Amino acid sequence: MTSPRVPGAAVAAASVTVVFWASAFVGIRAAAPYFSPGSLALGRLLSGSVVLVLFLAVRRQGLPPRAAWPGIVVSGVLWFGLYMVALNWGEELVDAGTAAMVVNVGPALMALLAGWLLHEGFPPRLLAGIAVSFAGAVVVGLSMSGGGRASVLGVLLCLVAAVTYASGVVAQKPALRHATALQATTFGCLIGALACLPFAGQLLGDLADAPLPATLNVIYLGVFPTAVAFTTWAYALARTTAGKMGSTTYAVPVVVILLSWLILDEVPTALACAGGALCLAGVAVSRSRPRKPAQEPLTRSHQ
C-alpha cells in the first residue's frame, strides 16, 4: 500500500517553514551576546504571541475544541518552551555545526515516535531517507565544527532540544485533527510563553542593555521563524505524517549554509556542500513513491 501524495499547498507551507527556521540560526547567533537563553526564548515567544493573537482575531477563530488541548499543552511546554531555551543555551556552548548535527537527531526520533505512538508505521523509503539525510547532517556538522572541542553540556542541551522538538511535534499531530493550524500554533506559543515567564526579570534587564538591532532581531525571531513558520508547519503537518514532515527539516542545514554565505559572508566548504546535497537527497527519497508495477497485457481467458 502506497502512502498518499502530499498536497502541493502543504509542500509550499513546509518550504516556508524550512527557510524561516534556517534564518533563526542566524538570528539566534546575532542576539545571543545580548540576551540570555531564557530571556531570548521569552522575548521571541511574546513577540510571536502578539502576532498570532491578532491573526486569530482577524480570522475569527476562537478557542480550540477540548479534544485538542492535551496535544497543544504538551507541545507548548516541550516544543515552544523547553526546546527554545535548550537550543539557545546549547548554541552558546557549542559551535553551530555541532548544534545542527545533534538537533538533527530530532526528525529521526520524530519518525520513530510517530511510527510507535501515532501508528504511522515505518515505510522503508522514509527510513532510508532519514538515514541518508542524517548522514548529510553529520557531514555538514563536521564541516562546520571547530576541531571537535565541543562542550559536553552544550551537546547534552542540543540533545534535549532534539528530544523536546520530536516529542512536541508528535504531541501536536493528534491536536490538529480537532484544531486549526492557527489555533494550535497560537495557543501552543502562549503556553510556551507562560512556561518561560520565570525569565521575565532577565528579559527586562536584557532589553534595557541591548542595542536596538538586537531587540529588533528578537522581534524578527518571534514574528517570522515562530508565528509564521510554526503556523505553516502545523498546516503542512495536518496534511501529511509527522515522519515525513520531520524528514523535510533536514533541508534546514542547506539553507543555513546559503544564508551564512549571503549574510555573514561565510563561503561554504566543499564538504559542507556535499553534506547539504545528501540532506536534500534524503528528503527526496523520503517523499518519493514506489513505482507501480507495469500491468501485464490482458489475455483472453478460455473456459
Instruction: Give me the residue label for grid cell 545533534.
Output: 102
pLDDT value, residue 65: 96
Alpha-carbon torsion (176, 180, 186, 187), positive or negative = negative
Distance CA 55, CA 175 (A): 19
Residue appearing with cell numbers 535548550: 86
* pLDDT mean by block of 10 residues, the chain; 303 residues: 60 88 85 95 98 96 96 96 94 70 70 69 74 75 57 77 88 93 97 98 98 96 96 88 68 74 70 71 68 52 45
Q: What is the pLDDT of residue 303?
A: 45
The reported pLDDT for the residue numbered 251 is: 73
Q: Quick one: pLDDT at residue 164?
A: 93
Q: What is the pTM of this model?
A: 0.79
Q: For the chain, what are the domain ranges?
A: 16-287
The pLDDT score that the predictor gives to residue 120 is 64
Q: Alpha-carbon torsion 195, 36, 184, 242, what sign?
A: negative
Whole-number Å distance between alpha carbons of 295 and 292? 9
The three-point CA angle 110-115-117 to 5° equals 90
Report the pLDDT value the prediction gives residue 14, as an integer from 0 to 100.
85
**Other CB atoms within 10 Å distance of the CB of residue 33:** 10
Decide: 106 and 218 in contact? Cβ < 8 Å.
Answer: no
Distance CA 207, CA 108 (A): 37
